A and B are shown apart, each in its own frame.
Chain A
Amino acid sequence: MEYLNIALPKGRLGERVYEMFEKIGYGCPAIREKNRSLIFENEENKVRYFWSKPSDVAIYVERGAADIGVVGKDILLEYEPDIYELLDMNTGKCRMCVAAKNTFRDNSEKTLRVATKFVNIARAHYDKKGRNIEICKLNGSIEIAPILGMTDVIVDIVETGTTLKENNLAVIETIVPISARLVANKASTKFKNEQIADIRRKLAEVIEND
């Protein structure tokens, strides 16, 4: 049997998801060792894991370097990769929101200035409303933009809302709820169907019983 390559997002979400894979018998002890390896294999159950930047997981899966992976719905909405979305992992839950300063008043006479990492999501959201916007693409610490008056609002992921609150910002609209998804490369699903279907089924059971 060939190895099944699995891409997981670096960070807390990835670790939580790895534990789920471990629970269903697809663990890989090497991953717990503290070293500088980038790729971890378990010869017994033929899995190979690697960590990647969350937004890159979809690319690795789309291009087939990873057969399956776990990635946030936000990334899938933003980049629309050509892959299968097999399962809602029911973890990594948050919301894609529009947020602004507490004092914000929407002046519909003017073009709305929007700061975001998620350009496509923001554009689609305001296109639906027919609102004229100007997008300012940022790569992190989006919250600063409205505080300094660079933009009127931000479109970003909100988990608990603490960062917003501490900076006198508030959610004014929820665009879409977000959670982590199990994704698969289309061609891999044809040739490694048994393994992928098995993982999907067992993960679904774990999620159900949670």
Chain B
Amino acid sequence: MGTFNYNDTTLYNLRMLYEQLGYKRYKMSKFEEYDLYLEYKKFLSTENIITFTDLNGKLYALKPDITLSIAKNAKPGETQKLYYKENVYRASAETKEYKEITQLGLEYIGDIDPYTLGEVVLLAARSLHSISESYVLDISHMGLVSALLDEARLSDSRKEKLVSFLGKKDAHELRFSCEKYGVDSDVTERIVALCEIYGDFESTYGQIKTLATTPAMLEAVKELESVYTFLKASGEGAHINLDFSIVNDMSYYNGIIFRGYIESVPCSVLSGGRYDNLLVKLGKNCQAMGFAVYVDMLELYAKHEKEYDVDVMLCYDSSVTPVQIAEKASEYTAQGKSVKVMPYVPDGLKYKQLVKFSEEGESVSDGIS
């Protein structure tokens, strides 16, 4: 336990998972007009976009994000279930380097009913499950968080501050700031309590029920429960945690949001939620939700099973013919072994067996480890 494998079949399995439920692949171009990102900057997790001018002098960007492009093309009244596997481009603020990141994601655009809500969250959970047995899907509800923060009656900038402390689970600063801003003490206690909630759904659900007082909050709590019931019935209930420190930008996200982790990767590998507000901002009257899998993180932290470059290093000399060498090599490949065939042993190669092949026959020795 604790490690997971990532290989060519990982992505294939995820795609099959989505296709089985009728999600269609959506292939897109690499470029987008820069204006789009300028306008919806806060929706992106990055501010560092790689731009260039086209031949007519128009400013374009290498896509830093796919969701925005899909949402832009949404047609109200039409339901779309799609997934994508694309490269996105970002500039790292820290190292000043350009990065190409593979992203696999799924989007649902159309009316969202309780079934659809459950289906998308379930697919997120199953995506994690297909990568590792040891995974966690944290769920939060923006409706609950923002309704509770609204009770504090603060300006947007102060509310944003509280949200950032919530995101760091910094109960101390949260309490301190609430007191500084003169927030009602009962509301302060409830905000701090929200921050401290963490754990599997069943043991924490009771706590959020006591925090919810207004109809909007009760509605949110009910939605969380209905999603959990759906996931539990599908066998993924044990991996679902409530965590209100997941904070996405409130002006775009509403409703259920979630983030996925698998053991031995130090950061989240999946993130998503409901983003009706983005579509409203794009002037479209429809609902949407989705998630993305951070394939680059999986690649980076996957355990590398292979301790050897090849099973067999087949080293030949000029006394044997090419046909003989090929026959010898296929003896090993027929056993399911990988064979590197060269007249000499390259520097730094790690192999299980060394086979020296000449007209006198073959001599087999163990590799260096």
Contact = CB atoms under 8 A, between A and B. Distances in A.
Is the pairing of A and B real? yes
Interface string A146-177: 00000000000000000000000000000000
Contacts of B168: 83-85
B266 A193 contact: no
Contact of A190 (B138, B170, B171): B138
A86 B261 contact: no
Nearest to B200: A193
Interface string B133-145: 0101010000000
B267 A86 contact: no
B295 to A, nearest CB: 17
A62 B266 contact: yes
A82 interface: yes
A64 B266 contact: yes
B138 A185 contact: no
Contacts of B241: 190
Interface in B296-336: none
Interface residues of B, number: 20
Contact of B266 (A84, A85, A88, A187): A187
B268 interface: yes
A191 B136 contact: yes
B268 to A, nearest CB: 7
B265 interface: yes
B136 A85 contact: no
A63 interface: yes
B173 interface: yes
Nearest to B165: A85
A2 interface: yes
Contacts of B199: 193
A188 B140 CA distance: 19
A91 to B, nearest CB: 13
Given A187-B266, A188-B266, 14 more contacts: A63-B266, A64-B267, A86-B170, A186-B267, A186-B268, A187-B261, A187-B265, A187-B268, A190-B136, A190-B241, A190-B261, A191-B136, A191-B261, A191-B263
Interface of B: 2, 134, 136, 138, 168-173, 198-199, 241, 245, 261, 263, 265-268
5 contacts: A64-B266, A64-B267, A84-B169, A86-B169, A188-B266
